């Protein structure tokens, strides 16, 4: 294999993204949560008094599409995880419990990914990827 500095970044970012996503999807599926539902639950966890649906969709929509965000909200409502008072969303007790389970899964997955990787290396990797995106004319943002 060629030295890392001579290898294609597009290949490695794609493979890393696929591996990470597959691992996340599988682990969340084991507790009955889709990744978009996780995004919704995570956003609700940031607002003690609940949040407007449009705020959740605007925040997580770029992760996939606004339609996926809307469908995830509807699914979480149907599963009894979210109480919707008009456009205002808040956790039910079951939703808060499911969020705690999913957050624990995400924490363990992060620890798994960080094995042998320092915080500084991780931060450098993110910074390099962000600069690379800008350098090729891309635009990316993450909450």
**From CA 81, how far away is CA 45, in angstroms rounded?**
12
pLDDT of residue 5: 87
pLDDT of residue 38: 97
pLDDT of residue 15: 95
**From CA 123, how far away is CA 100, in angstroms rounded?**
26
Print pLDDT tens along the chain (143 aa). Answer: 888 888 899 999 999 999 999 999 999 999 999 999 999 999 999 999 999 999 999 999 888 999 999 999 999 999 999 999 999 999 999 999 999 999 999 999 999 999 999 999 999 999 999 999 999 999 887 77
**From CA 128, how far away is CA 137, in angstroms rounded?**
14
Judge contact between 132 and 9, C-beta under 8 A.
yes
pLDDT of residue 61: 81
As separate numbers, helices (DSSP H) first and strands (DSSP E) second, the chain gives 6, 3
CATH 1.20.1050.10 applies to domain 8-135: no
């Amino acid at each position: 294999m060629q030295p890392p500095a001579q290898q294609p970044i597009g290949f490695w970012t794609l493979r890393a993204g696929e591996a990470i996503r597959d691992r996340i999807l599988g682990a969340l599926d084991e507790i009955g949560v889709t990744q978009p539902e996780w995004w919704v639950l995570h956003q609700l966890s940031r607002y003690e008094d609940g949040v407007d649906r449009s705020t959740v969709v605007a925040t997580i929509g770029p992760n996939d599409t606004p339609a996926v965000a809307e469908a995830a909200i509807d699914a979480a409502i149907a599963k009894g995880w979210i109480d919707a008072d008009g456009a205002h969303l808040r956790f039910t007790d079951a939703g808060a419990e499911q969020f705690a389970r999913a957050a624990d899964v995400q924490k363990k997955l992060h620890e798994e990914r960080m094995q042998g990787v320092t915080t500084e290396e991780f931060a450098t990797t993110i910074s390099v990827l962000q600069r690379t995106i800008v350098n090729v004319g891309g635009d990316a943002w993450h909450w």
